[in-house]
Homo-oligomer: A and B are copies of this chain.
């Protein structure tokens, strides 16, 4: 029940893009360097994000990537589903027959559980917009640079 590095690295990459957003594209090598992720590996995550309409690539020299939409219109759910596939805890394929009916009734009862889990995960990630993380990121950044001892409720990151 773990997210793979696809989701973890990919979200960090998109967030990096969103935080440093401007009119000029950001090269993948820069994202990889700043996030300390293998560029070769990141490279194969990008097509998923591109197909989902989350980022767009600018080819050629001085090229790079841009968000394909404003950050407040991209949910974390969109990003994670693009990278990981659906966020359901089980594949429905192995509990249903070709016609959609259940192959056995016991599985059918546990299906009720899987549905509840699935809904709660999707509701959670769809309820967070990329822009929220950008704001949070900038806030944390500012706190780290000007360590004003008044109002430092979290030092480092907390436990």
Residues of A near any B CB (own CB < 8 A):
1-4, 7-8, 11-12, 15-16, 35-36, 76, 84-85, 87-91, 96, 100-102, 104-114, 116-117, 119-121, 123-125, 127-128, 133, 136-137, 140-141, 144, 156-159
Contact = CB atoms under 8 A, between A and B. Distances in A.
Please report whether the interface of chain A is mostly helix, strand, loop or mixed according to DSSP: helix
A117 B112 contact: no
A124 B55 CA distance: 32
A142 to B, nearest CB: 11
A148 to B, nearest CB: 17
Total copies of this chain within the assembly: 2
A29 B31 CA distance: 54
